[in-house]
């Protein structure tokens, strides 16, 4: 099950059915199963509070991923700051929804097992993001 929720913001105009199909396809392409996934859109203040409380980090971020995966079932919460996604889309001169989709799939890829702690790993996850975004264009 994949659900889209909000905290302190309005739900962006997303096609939730299309995104559910996309996320499911990406997970299945890695020979894994969809468990329980929540994509929670929030404000900068909410994600900062969560970042401080749960991770001990005192900074804004675009996404925090909470991993509840068990066995081959991909489960977790993706907390996404719409304000940071918007400012990133402006900074990188990308469409807001393109940036939002990249952030969503970035969190899903973390749940699948991809990491981004080194430049080499960041290159790999970026390549996976690009492949997934191409898939979205065909859904």
**Closest alpha carbon to 125 in 101, 137, 108:** 108
Q: How far apart are CA 41 and CA 78, in angstroms?
A: 8
CATH code of residue 71: 3.40.390.30
Residue 84 contacts residue 45 (beta carbons within 8 Å): no
- The total number of structural domains in the chain stands at 1
**25-to-46, 65, 71 alpha-carbon distances in Å:** 30, 19, 18
Query: CA 47 from chain center: how many Å?
Result: 13
pLDDT by residue for the chain (139 residues), tens only, comes to 999 999 999 999 999 999 999 999 999 999 999 999 999 999 999 999 999 999 999 999 999 999 999 999 999 999 999 999 999 999 999 999 999 999 999 999 999 999 999 999 999 999 999 999 999 999 8
Q: By residue range, what is the domain housing residue 133?
A: 2-137
Q: How far apart are CA 29 and CA 47, in angstroms?
A: 30
């Amino acid at each position: 099950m994949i659900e889209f929720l909000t905290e302190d913001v309005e739900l962006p105009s997303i096609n939730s059915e299309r995104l559910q199909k996309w996320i499911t396809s990406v997970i299945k392409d890695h020979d894994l199963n969809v468990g329980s996934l929540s994509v929670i859109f929030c404000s900068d203040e909410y994600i900062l509070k969560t970042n401080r409380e749960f991770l001990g980090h005192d900074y804004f971020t675009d996404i925090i991923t909470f991993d509840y995966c068990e066995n081959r079932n991909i489960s977790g919460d993706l907390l996404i700051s719409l304000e940071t996604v918007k400012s990133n889309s402006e900074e990188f001169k990308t469409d807001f929804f393109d940036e939002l989709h990249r952030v969503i799939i970035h969190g899903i890829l973390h749940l699948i097992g991809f990491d981004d702690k080194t430049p080499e790993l960041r290159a790999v996850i970026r390549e996976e993001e690009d492949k997934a975004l191409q898939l979205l264009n065909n859904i």
